[in-house]
Amino acid sequence: MLIDKVFILAAVVFVGILCQWFAWRVKLPAILFLLFAGIIAGPLTGWLNSDALFGDLLFPFISLSVAVILFEGSLTLRFHQIAGLGRVVRNMISFGLLVTWLITATATRLVFDFPWSLALLFGAITSVTGPTVIVPMLRTVKPSAAVANILRWEGIVIDPIGATLAVLVYEFILSGSSGNAMSHTLLAFARLIGIGLLLGSLAGYIYGNILRRHWLPEFLHNVATLGLVIFVFAVSNSIQHESGLLSVTVMGIWLANMRDVSLEEILDFKESLSVLLISVLFIVLAARLDFQRFLHLGWQVGFIFLSIQFLSRPLSVMISALGSKLSWPERHLLAWIAPRGIVAAAISALFAIKLAAAGHNEAELLVPLTFSVIIGTVVLQSATARFIAKKLGVAEPEPRGFLIIGANPVARVIGKALQQAEFRVLLVDSSWDNISKARMEGLPTYYGEPVSEHADRNLDLVGIGKLLALSPRGALNTLSCMHYRMELGSKAVFAIQAAADLEMTKERKAISRRHWQVLFGPEVTFSSLAKALTHDGWEMRSTTLSQAFDFIAYQQLYEQRSVPLFAVTPKGQIEVFSVEERLNPQPGWTIIGLVTEPEAREKATLAE
């Protein structure tokens, strides 16, 4: 029996990670595939019985997992990200939440004839958006920075607040038969907020100072943080029921905004752990669904979804954004994107069982109703948000920029030429000397290794569409191309050859099976470019072709004394000269390349 449970749990973990990988490949939220996997494993085949697998530990596991997920998300919330937009976020997690709650509750009451208590509980559960769904959706939608930051902050901060609201309604339901229900609920609210803010702030302040003063060895940072999160969550809940989520969220925000506190390794660990927990949680919760209860809901569930998508969310955003600097298109996009996620699923499952045990039979419909909203919002918004963002003009433009691996002299010259041609560049190097020189020349930089967890989290790739690997370290160029080709596409990844590559036979080159393109020409290497720039006096030139001076005339003029690097079309599109791609620039195109004769520009001008 134990072996069977171990195998089932291992299979759930494996399938969950497989769903995460597939979602990454197709650029859709992983929750869709996790839900489908859970439904197949549970209701359809009966292979996974979540209650039998976890027993009495199911809901403690759910609670602790949600706490870790919220803590990890709160570690990424920096106040400077919402400079000038803090009022909007504050309104959305207060007034906006109340609007969503009341409208959803009213619709549920009218459509399903639920008691007001259960309708208000469902409204509270579905008032939270899902950070685990919003983050991957933002990667696909690529909205403006203001919209992205607001949605990320709202998704993380509103979860404990919405959960708190759900707990208060739950407490009100349980004490509804007594005469002091309202006073009991208000007291519970005051205790919950007080304990959550006090304990979370205190834990964040003390632990932040421990990290700042290096009182804890680095090898204990990750496990100590995890242990502290679980401890704070448990202590907070023991003092005041369900205050733990607020405590760990406040603790994470406090740590994230403390000065001189390094959280990179902790964040790496917590992010990996969150992915694992989310993968298991969604499958386990989806496996508990009962199709008969879905059928019992009927077509009326569509009205609930429509009221959330087209009434409560737009109204809450419009009220929250009053007096802000947000443009109307940005407000419209905010009003469209509000997917529900893991917290709504977990809370609905938790309260449904507790209320059903207390004699509230209608509570059994909370879970299928909540999952219907989750699936509806995720599917609709994932499929349409990018299109709507483009139509509204608040999506980031198609990426035209270059991520350049290396900030050496060659990379700086090429980066400067691209920058002058009005293309965004970002130079990445682990040499502080190279980075310093690049910054002095006005080039945007990132100091660190291009292939690292820190780079994955902190590299700003907005507007970046191509990669140029221009490091003298051939292995780094290869590694960078392999890493970023999945993000940018193999046709947008280029690397300069090393001198040793020229000595490779055709057979060895064929065996190597490159998944990127070789920059500039078959005989061009990093060493040859560096020598041409530093010793031979070559310089970067931009030459516009015409009918009288076409690309053939350009090549004849410079003969062997030029290396064409890029070609810019009249529409502002840029093409890269490479071994694999033979370009045929037309009149009106601009050639950016290295030339050796200082009088070449004058000859080109005369020829035109």
Residue 528 in this model has a pLDDT that exceeds 70: yes
Same domain, 139 and 277: yes
- Over range 155-175, report the average pLDDT: 76
Give the model's confidence band at 608: pLDDT under 50 very low, under 70 low, under 90 confident, else very high. Answer: very low
pLDDT for residue 399: 77
Domain closes at, from 392, 426, 442: 392
CATH number of residue 124's parent domain: 1.20.1530.20
Same domain, 230 and 350: yes
Q: How many domains does the chain have?
A: 2
Give the model's confidence band at 84: pLDDT under 50 very low, under 70 low, under 90 confident, else very high. Answer: low
pLDDT for residue 180: 63
Same domain, 32 and 169: yes
Give the model's confidence band at 106: pLDDT under 50 very low, under 70 low, under 90 confident, else very high. Answer: very high
- Over range 317-344, report the average pLDDT: 86
Domain closes at, from 336, 358, 392: 392
Residue 422 in this model has a pLDDT that exceeds 80: yes
The size of the chain, in residues, is 608
- Taking all residues of the chain, what is their mean pLDDT, rounded to a whole number? 80
For the segment 454-473, what is each residue's pLDDT rounded down to a tens digit? 777 677 776 788 898 888 88
Residue 606 in this model has a pLDDT that exceeds 70: no
Report the range of poorest mean pLDDT among 42-51, 346-355, 568-577, 587-596.
346-355
- 3-state SS assignment for residue 516: coil
Same domain, 450 and 545: yes
pLDDT for residue 514: 60
Q: Are 519 and 575 in contact (CB under 8 A)?
A: no
Domain that holds residue 462: 401-607
Same domain, 368 and 493: no
Same domain, 112 and 261: yes
- Over range 581-590, report the average pLDDT: 82
Signed CA dihedral, 547, 552, 558, 563: sign only: positive
For the segment 363-392, what is each residue's pLDDT rounded down to a tens digit? 778 888 888 888 888 888 888 888 888 888
Task: Give the orientation angle of helix 181-212 with respect to helix 145-174, to 10 degrees.
Answer: 130
pLDDT for residue 508: 46
pLDDT for residue 601: 44
For the segment 551-573, what is each residue's pLDDT rounded down to a tens digit? 888 777 776 677 888 888 888 88
Give the model's confidence band at 315: pLDDT under 50 very low, under 70 low, under 90 confident, else very high. Answer: very high
Same domain, 37 and 92: yes
CA dist 289 and 274 (Å) reads: 23
Domain closes at, from 392, 417, 439: 392
pLDDT for residue 457: 67
% of the chain with per-residue pLDDT over 70:
88
For the segment 353-370, what is each residue's pLDDT rounded down to a tens digit? 777 776 777 777 888 888
- 3-state SS assignment for residue 567: strand
For the segment 6-27, what is each residue's pLDDT rounded down to a tens digit? 888 888 899 989 988 888 777 7
Task: List residues bridging with 564 in a β-sheet.
Answer: 593
- Over range 270-295, report the average pLDDT: 79
CATH number of residue 523's parent domain: 3.40.50.720
pLDDT for residue 501: 59
Same domain, 415 and 373: no
Same domain, 247 and 135: yes
CA dist 235 and 254 (Å) reads: 18
pLDDT for residue 14: 92
CA dist 230 and 245 (Å) reads: 10
Residue 602 in this model has a pLDDT that exceeds 60: no
Report the range of poorest mean pLDDT among 240-249, 298-307, 471-480.
240-249
- Over range 239-254, report the average pLDDT: 83
CA dist 181 and 111 (Å) reads: 26
pLDDT for residue 511: 40
CA dist 166 and 511 (Å) reads: 60
With a threshold of 0.95, does the pTM exceed it?
Answer: no
Same domain, 584 and 465: yes
Same domain, 206 and 325: yes
Identify the residue with better confidence: 487 or 305.
305
| Of residues 85, 23, 12, the one with CA closest to residue 281 | 12
pLDDT for residue 560: 66
Same domain, 379 and 414: no
Question: Which residue in the block uniquely carries the two structure tokens 């519970």?
Answer: 188
